[in-house]
Amino acid sequence: MQKTFEGMLIALSALWANKLRSFLTLLCVIISIMAIIAVVSIIDGMNTYVREEIATQGSDVFVIQRVNELGVLTNFDLFIKSLRYPRLTLDDADAIRREVPQAKYVDAAVETQRRVYAGQRYVDNASIRGRTSEYPIIGDWPLDHGRHLAPIDVNLRKQVCVVGWDVALNLFPAEDPVGRWIKIGGRHYQVIGVVKKKSSILGENQNLFAFVPVTAFLKHFGWRRSVNISVKTGEMETVPEAMEEARAVMRVRHRLRPGQEDNFHITTSEALLSLWRSISQGIFSALIGLVSITLVIGGIIIMNIMLVAVTERTREIGIRKALGAQRRDILLQFLVESVTLSTVGGVAGIVSGFGAAFLIASFTPMPYAVKGWSIGIALVIVFTVGIFFGLYPANKAAKLHPVDALRYE
């Protein structure tokens, strides 16, 4: 232990004596570890965010859509085919509510962007969302005050709305918005509730919206719009059965023959999680490849510097051997110095990585999370680099003959 500590002190004193050379030597290691820590922190923060957002919908919820919105982005043939798919209607939602016993709650959703007015004040690009009275049960929309949409509002197509926190604050900064009237797309809606303030997601304001009865929405903005149908079963175990029943109902309503492909798409929270996992794993795999190259370069630089150190300290090695130092003592000394060099670079990379992740999260919408396991992995990597690339210089120093080393000029 004493020899290991002594080797660490020698390595640290050499680093301090040659600051610029040491910094340039460790730069590749620092950059590699910084990249690992920063990307892992960002990806893990995104993982946490995705899980939390999907958890707000619940694992017992699935959604029926006209098209696979993610699939059409990467499959042109699917995009062309989806143009002929029939739209989903409120009648489809009612059929699922009637004919799927496992469907405890069914919500139909449709959305557009509009400017919202209240007198001279207005809010741009507010999300106007047509929903049924069951949206608060399927989603996470706690009220600050007022009430949610009621079944009678939907049945009678009432022009009422529940607004987000920032819509209420911007349009009615000094008064209670409940009972007031706002103007959406040229028509007036009465505010009946205000949703509690929600945090931003990836830089997107989650408080600029207004819920209106889906029937009023379709009457106002056009009945030809397709709706998304969300189904909540109440129990995660019943989701597969409910999905099959809903698929059967939709196939009958769309007059699909046996063997024909579905002209609608059903997705679950697990499918979204799987998609995100595949994306994050792809990003991380690409990172590993790039970082590995940088680490190899950094390790080669450390090896070269250690070889230079062996040459510079040849006489010192000869004196140590003449005084009784064994081959393993010299080997251990230079190996410890190599590991110390790489570890110093690793620690600097870890600090820089978390700093970079913090700055990215501060100036962009990307969240980040600090995980202890990423620090452990980074330290294991730098230890491995130090040992692997320090072994040859250390072995070369250990093989020096004391007489030849003492005669070296």
- What is the distance between the alpha carbons of residues 190 and 183, in angstroms, rounded to a whole number? 9
CA 240 to chain centre: 27
Q: Are 115 and 253 in contact (CB under 8 A)?
A: no
Residues in the chain where the model's pLDDT stays below 70: 1-22, 24-25, 46-59, 69-76, 78-79, 200-204, 269-280, 283-284, 287-288, 290-291, 306-327, 329-330, 334, 361, 363-371, 392, 394, 396-409
In this structure, are residues 203 and 363 in contact, taking their beta carbons and an 8 Å threshold?
Answer: no
Considering the domain architecture, whether residues 199 and 320 belong to the same structural domain is answered as no
Q: How far is CA 77 from CA 65, 84, 266, 269, 409, in A?
A: 18, 12, 19, 25, 75
Task: Sort strands 228-232 and 209-213 into parallel, antiparallel or unpaired.
Answer: unpaired
Q: Rounded to an integer, what distance in angstroms lies between the CA atom of residue 65 and that of residue 59?
A: 18
Look at residue 126 in the predicted model and tell me its pLDDT.
Answer: 92
Stated pTM of the model: 0.63
Contacts of 322 (CB under 8 A, 6+ apart): 402, 406
Same domain assignment for residues 102 and 45: no
- Specify burial of residue 143 (Cβ count, 10 A radius: 0-12, 13-18, 19+): middle
**What is the Cα–Cα distance from 285 to 277, expressed in whole angstroms?**
12
- Of 268, 292, 320, which residue constitutes the final position of a domain? 268
| Domain shared by 148 and 289, yes or no | no
Helix (H) or strand (E) holding 183: strand 181-184
Q: What is the number of domains present in the chain?
A: 2
Residues 138 and 258 in one domain: yes
Residues 324 and 279 in one domain: yes
Regarding whether 148 and 132 lie in a shared domain, the answer is yes
3-state secondary structure of 126: strand
Q: Of 154, 260, 271, give the one whose Cα is nearest residue 215.
A: 154
Q: Are residues 257 and 393 in the same domain?
A: no
Identify the burial level of 200 via C-beta atoms within 10 angstroms of its C-beta, where 0-12 means exposed, 13-18 middle and 19 or more buried.
exposed
Same domain, 170 and 232: yes
3-state class percentages of the chain: helix first, strand second, coil last, to nearest 5: 60, 15, 25
C-alpha 63/C-alpha 331 separation (Å) is: 64
Residue 40 and residue 63 in one domain: no
207 and 129 in a common domain: yes
So what's the pLDDT on residue 347? 83
Segment 345-375, tens digit of pLDDT: 778 888 887 887 777 767 665 666 666 777 7
Please state, in angstroms and rounded to a whole number, the distance separating the CA atoms of residues 326 and 41. 45
Range of the structural domain that residue 207 is part of: 59-268
Q: What pLDDT was estimated at residue 224?
A: 83
Backbone angles phi, psi at 241, to 5 degrees: -65, -45
Picking from 223, 252, 268, the residue at the C-terminal end of a domain is 268
Task: Examine the domain organization and report whether 93 and 231 are in the same domain.
Answer: yes
The runs of H, that is alpha helices, within 83-130 are 90-99
Q: Are residues 346 and 368 in the same domain?
A: yes
Q: What's the confidence (pLDDT) of residue 72?
A: 57
Residue 182, H or E segment: strand 181-184
Domain end call among 268, 290, 324? 268
The strand pairing partners of 228, in sequence order, are 109
In angstroms, how far is CA 105 from the centroid of its own chain?
Answer: 29
Phi, psi of 170 (to 5 degrees): -75, -35
Cβ-based neighbour number of residue 175 at 10 Å: 10
User: Could you tell me the two tokens for 124?
Assistant: 């741009």
